[in-house]
Each structure stands twice: as C-alpha cells, then as structure tokens.
A = this chain, B = another copy of it.
Amino acid sequence: MGRGSGNPLAGSDEFVIMADFFSLRTVTWEDGRVKMIDQTALPNRLSYVVYTAPEQVAAAIRTMVVRGAPAIGVAAAMGVALAARRSKATNISGLVRDLETSASMLRSTRPTAVNLFWGIDRILAKARSSPSVKRAKEEVESEAKRMEDEDVEVNRKLGRAGADLIKDGDTVLTQCNAGSLATVGYGTALGVVRAAVEQGKLVKVLVPETRPALQGARLTAFELAHDGIPCTLISDTAVGYMMSLGRVDRVVVGADRITKDGYVFNKIGTYQEAVLAHTHGIPFHPAAPRSTFDLGRTYDEVTIEERGAEEVVQIRGRRIAPKGVPVSNPAFDMTPPELVTSMITERGLVAPPFEESIAAFMA
C-alpha cells in the first residue's frame, strides 16, 4: 500500500503500516512527536499520522482521526506537550501562557468527554509547578508519556474487574467503539471482553454499527476480528429485537463523562440500549476509568455535542438523503443512574446508590 490519501489534515506525515497494530498504540509519543492511527480511514486502510504541532492534534480530535474519551484525553495532553516543545518562552509564566493558548484551542474541539479536559489540566499543572522552563519542558513530556502508559495499565485493571461479570458463553452487546481504538490500548468495554477471553471464557460480542459515524462497524468489528473474538454486526435498529430473542446476556459500553450524580454520557444510542436492557432484564454496565468521572458537575451541567448534518446525510461520501433535509445529530446522550446495574472501573465495580459510591471511589 502506498501513501494514504483519506486524511483531511494538511501538514501531517501520513504513512501506511499493515503490521500487527495492537502491539502498537492508538496514540503514542515518539521522538517528541504524536503518532496516531487515522481512524477515519478504518477499516479500509490502517494508516498512521504524525503530528508536531498542537493545532494538528486539535484538528485530529475535531475530525475524529482520534476519538474515544480516554484516547482524546491522552492526545490532548500530548497536544499541550507539543506546545511546550515549540515554546520560545524564557520563564515559567511565559511558558504557561503559551500552553494555555494551545490548551484553550484543544479544549474547544469537543465538549462532552471530560477526559479531554482532565488530560489538558494534568499537563498544565505539571508545567505550573515546575521550577524552570527547562524542567517544565522535560516534566510535561514525561507526564504525557506517563499518561499514555497509565491508560493501558488502567484499562487492564478495569478489564479484569469487569471480566468476573462475564460468564463462559455470554454474548455481550456494546455500542460504538470502547476498545483499543478508543484508548491508548486494550480498551474499556472491549477491555472487559478481552480480559474475559484471557480468563479462558468464550465471549461473543454483538456490535451495533453505531450511526452516524459507524464506529461499531468500522472500528469495533475491526478490532474484534483482528483479535479473533467472535462478533456479529447488526444495524442499530436491531438492538431491541435481538434482546427480545434472548440473544444478549449483558450490555457493556464505554463512557465519555459520568457526573457525580451517576448520569452516564456516552455515544448516541447508549440511552436507548439502556432502556431496552432494563425492559428485558439485561444488566447494563458502563466501563470507564477515573478520568471519565466528573465530580464537579451534575447531569444538567454537561454539554451534549451536536455535530454537522453531513455525518447523517452522507455515508463515506455518498449522499443518502435529499438535499437540504433538516437534520438533528446529537453525538452523545445521557443515561440516568436508575438504568445502570453497576459501573466497571479500574478499582472494581461501582454500584448503586451511585452518588455515594462514586464519591467513595473517587476519594
């Protein structure tokens, strides 16, 4: 395969590697640059992009070259680290000003996943507490690398905690992609599946395609096929019917933000999966690390991103609806705590009543 052509970002070095990408990472810091899988090209082409400027990382987050709450948290942190490398400031306050400028741009990319803000704030705190510009630049970079490594380790712990819920032979329904590709590696919801498989269990995954951006069809099916984990792809319209046929044992999804009152913000379609699971008596579990929890907000203080109509009226460049038809395209929805059986985290299960258990878990 030659040089890729599908990436919308100017100024990036793009190349194609068909190697075993799960030994690599979705987002990684490499020689002072940010390297990531271009997820917009999947599953047709596996290619990587390399960025040297925070503006490139911001564009990548906005256009979903990288997506998934944990992955964009780490990517945004690395975007700030690129700003630090580039800064010509001669004192800490000058450096912090430069970083704040890039941070502000990175924060404006997507509003819903709290990990984005968490990742940026963590890097900024490092810079602010450094004694010199030189030390700050070193610490910012090592913090970004630490966040990358931590992400995989956290997901492995989370996976093990959730795997105990899964019985041999279970079919797990998910939504969107909360896998390797939504994180640096291993995944949250799919990390639970991977950990259960590592325990020797047979686990099947039912994958809704997840319109409009098709992360289920494009990314989750791709990951699972790669790992040899049995999966079946369905249209989003078939979720309820599959439940009614008894073909779903458990629902495990990711999360973009979980507020202190236990409301779960995740990819559009999650809420209706939760309602349908409740109706059919099927357990429903968001799987998310601490960085996804937002103790500073209640459900009514979260912005749900509305994305452009073109995601709905075009699929992979083909028009599927009449020109000019009005579209509503919320990218996320909100699932209330009463529909959640338990939350799967790197510190084990968080169970109802959630307001108390979340506070205890985060303490």
Residues on A close to B: CB < 8 A? 43-44, 208-212, 214, 217-218, 221-222, 225, 230-242, 244, 267-269, 271-272, 275-276, 279, 312-313, 315-322, 324-330, 333-334
Q: A81 to B209, alpha carbons, bound, how many Å? A: 42
Copies of this chain, how many?
A: 2
CB distance from A239 to the nearest CB of B (A): 6
Are A329 and B234 in touch, CB under 8 angstroms?
A: yes
Give the distance in Å from the alpha carbon of A276 to the alpha carbon of B236 in the complex: 14
Pick the contact of A312 from B218, B233, B326, B334 — CB < 8 Å? B233
A338 to chain B, nearest CB (A): 12
Q: Known contacts being A316-B318, A316-B320, is A329 close to B235, with CB within 8 Å? A: yes
B234 and A272 contact, CB distance less than 8 A: no
Given known A275-B276, A315-B320, A327-B234, contact A241–B222 (CB-CB < 8 A): no
Residues on B with C-beta less than 8 A from A275 are 240, 275-276, 279
Tell whether A316 pairs with B313 under 8 Å between CB atoms, given A225-B322, A235-B329, A321-B217: no
Q: Which of B221, B241, B320 contacts A218 (CB 8 A)?
A: B320
**Given A211-B209, A218-B321, CB of A268 within 8 Å of CB of B315:** no
Contacts of A230 in B (CB 8 A): 326
